[in-house]
Structure 1
Amino acid sequence: MLQVLESHILKLVPELKDSIDRIIPHFSIEEFKKDEELLTENMSCERLFFVCQGMLHLYYTYSEEKHVIHFALENWWLTDYKTFPDVKPATLGIAATEDTTVAVISKRDYDALLLAYPLLAVYFNNIHQRAYGAALHKQKIYATISKEDFYSYFKNTYPELYQRIPGHILASYIGISLETFKEFEAGYIS
């Protein structure tokens, strides 16, 4: 599975080809079952996850309910980016949306790799720019259309992703109850 990560790094920064055999051993592979937690709120956030296979979701808890705010599919990275830089208690949680295999790196190894291989910072800059852009786009769409229109937008724009996400998690992401989600599904005409 680490070959998935290796391919992803070399796709974005081919100049790392001569160093990749020294970079990859800093990562380990972990497997998580559907609904299993990788990071819980208030846990020390000291790991960064690369999705080799499967899907993760990022959430926060409010009024004893989980509110999903982001997904990470194959070839995406995920952590609580607010607390990871300083290894503070997480303000967000991460759970497996489906059975998932991830490559994991500790904050200590991440920092050491960036110092040893400055070109790796180009790789992480590329992925973080893409992720930030996607988050801003979602925020814009979410703020400018109704919940029902956002449901339709998501279903039509990301049909493969829509099929992979359980209804209760997608409802949370959209910001509606599971009952409302089911009503949207029942009334949706493609």
Structure 2
Amino acid sequence: MKSLFKQHIEQTLPITEEDFEFIWSHFTQKSLKKHQFLVQEDDYIRSDYWVGKGLLKAYYNNDGKEHILQFAMEGWWISDYDAYFNQTPASINVNCLEDSELICLTLANREALCQSLPQMANFFRLKAQGGYVASQKRILSFLKNNAEERYHELTTLYPTLLQRVPKTLLASYIGVSRETLSRLGKKKLNE
């Protein structure tokens, strides 16, 4: 996991072995089994999480209906960021779709790390920018694209999710019924 995380950082910025050891000292590791919660609504969020292995979903529960906000697979970050940065109770849930290996960064350790190594502040800024852009694109997709176009985007951007995520959850992610998702999948196969 340690070497994977080092590669993850090096994709954004060069670091020395000494700096990486210092960075690594600010993180802890966590293992969760399939169906375990990482974040539950109303809990206080202690950490931001990087996925070294596994797959998770972030969702909002509205009267028993799950609204999928995000999937996170290897190399992705996940948390309830409102709760994490503002130190308030979580408004979403995050749980594991597969057994998962994570590394965890508390807000205090993040701040200390950014103070000590300004290049890490830049690293987190770039990661936040990427997440913000992806979130904005997803919102715009819901506003301007029909179900078929959203399905095409999903299969183009994240083809491996189709094999790893139950169709019911994929349908929720793109805002369609399970039946519509199946129809769209069959249509794509016939093209």
**Per-residue deviation, 1:78:** 1.2
Give the equivalent residue in structure 2 for 1:75.
75
% identical aligned pairs = 28
What does residue range 41-120 of structure 1 map to in structure 2 within 5 Å? 41-120=41-120
In the alignment, structure 1 residue 37 sits paired with structure 2 residue 42:
no
Cα distance in 2 between the residues matched to 1:48 and 1:116: 19
Assess if the C-alpha contact under 8 Å between 1:2 and 1:29 holds in 2: no
Assess if the C-alpha contact under 8 Å between 1:47 and 1:106 holds in 2: yes
**Per-residue deviation, 1:111:** 1.9
Cα distance in 2 between the residues matched to 1:183 and 1:64: 25
Letter of the 1:133 counterpart = V
Cα distance in 1 between the residues matched to 2:69 and 2:86: 22
Cα distance in 2 between the residues matched to 1:153 and 1:22: 39
Give the equivalent residue in structure 2 for 1:155.
155
The 3-state SS of whatever aligns with 1:111 is: helix
Give the equivalent residue in structure 1 for 2:166.
166
Letter of the 2:8 counterpart = H
User: TM-score normalised to the size of structure 1?
Assistant: 0.90
In the alignment, structure 1 residue 28 sits paired with structure 2 residue 28:
yes
**Per-residue deviation, 1:39:** 0.2
The 3-state SS of whatever aligns with 1:48 is: strand
Assess if the C-alpha contact under 8 Å between 1:10 and 1:17 holds in 2: no
Cα distance in 2 between the residues matched to 1:62 and 1:79: 19
**Per-residue deviation, 1:186:** 4.3
Letter of the 1:116 counterpart = S
Letter of the 1:70 counterpart = Q
Assess if the C-alpha contact under 8 Å between 1:28 and 1:105 holds in 2: yes
Q: Deviations over 1:81-102 (max 9, x none)?
A: 1121121101111112222211
Cα gap change, 1:119 to 1:152, in 2 (>3 Å): closer
**Per-residue deviation, 1:74:** 1.5
Cα RMSD (Å) = 1.9
**Per-residue deviation, 1:34:** 2.2
User: TM-score normalised to the size of structure 2?
Assistant: 0.89
What does residue range 166-185 of structure 1 map to in structure 2 within 5 Å? 166-185=166-185
Task: Report how many residues are paired.
Answer: 190
Letter of the 1:112 counterpart = A
Cα gap change, 1:60 to 1:117, in 2 (>3 Å): same
**Per-residue deviation, 1:180:** 3.2
Cα distance in 2 between the residues matched to 1:157 and 1:120: 27
Structure 2 portions without partners, runs of 5+:
none
Cα gap change, 1:109 to 1:157, in 2 (>3 Å): closer
Cα distance in 1 between the residues matched to 2:77 and 2:69: 15
Letter of the 1:138 counterpart = R
Cα distance in 1 between the residues matched to 2:152 and 2:130: 23
